[in-house]
C-alpha cells in the first residue's frame, strides 16, 4: 500500500515549484523574462494581480517547497536531493526579502525558480527511494 506521505512530498514539491513559476509570470515589472514567457502562453491577464502574486503567493509557494523538501528528507534520507530541493526556495526567499534592494536580486530569483523546476523534473524522472532506515543505512554488496 502506498504511503500518503510519499504522495504529499511528491505533489507538494511540484505544486510549490509550479506555483512559484506562475506567480513570477504574473509580475511583469519584477520579472520581465518570466512574465514575457507567461504572456506568450496566455497568462498575461495575471498582471492585474501582480501585488498578490509577488507579496503573497510567491513566498507562500517557496515556503511550501522548502518545507516539503525538508520533510522529504525524513522519508528518503538522501541529503543531496534534500539539499538541492531546499536550495532553490531558499535562494528565492532570500531574493524576495533581504536581497531585494540589490540590482542582482532578480538574477537570484530566476536562479531559485530554475533550481526548483530542475529538482522537480529530476524528481519526476528519478523518484527518491528510501535508502536509510532509523537503524542505519544499507550498504551495497562488496565484490571479492
Domain locations along the chain = 4-125
CA distances from 89 to 51, 118, 142 (A): 20, 12, 38
Mean pLDDT by 10 residues, the chain (144 residues): 62 75 72 76 76 80 84 72 86 86 82 85 70 56 62
Q: What is the pLDDT of residue 69?
A: 80
CA distances from 133 to 7, 58, 60, 129 (A): 19, 35, 31, 11
Give DSSP secondary structure letters for 15-58. Answer: HHHHHHHHHHHT-TTT-HHHHHHHHHTT-GGGGGGHHHIIIIIH
Contact 38, 26 (CB under 8 A): yes
Amino acid at each position: 500500500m502506498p504511503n500518503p506521505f510519499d504522495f504529499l512530498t511528491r505533489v507538494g514539491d511540484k505544486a510549490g515549484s509550479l506555483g512559484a513559476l506562475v506567480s513570477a509570470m504574473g509580475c511583469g515589472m519584477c520579472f520581465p523574462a518570466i512574465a514575457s514567457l507567461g504572456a506568450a502562453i496566455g497568462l498575461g491577464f495575471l498582471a492585474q494581480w501582480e501585488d498578490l502574486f509577488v507579496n503573497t503567493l510567491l513566498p507562500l509557494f517557496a515556503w511550501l517547497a522548502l518545507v516539503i523538501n525538508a520533510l522529504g528528507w525524513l522519508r528518503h534520507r538522501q541529503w543531496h536531493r534534500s539539499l538541492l530541493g531546499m536550495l532553490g526556495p531558499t535562494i528565492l526567499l532570500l531574493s524576495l526579502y533581504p536581497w531585494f534592494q540589490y540590482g542582482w536580486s532578480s538574477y537570484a530569483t530566476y536562479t531559485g525558480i530554475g533550481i526548483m523546476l530542475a529538482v522537480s523534473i529530476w524528481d519526476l524522472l528519478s523518484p527518491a527511494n528510501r535508502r536509510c532506515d532509523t537503524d542505519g543505512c544499507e550498504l551495497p554488496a562488496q565484490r571479492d
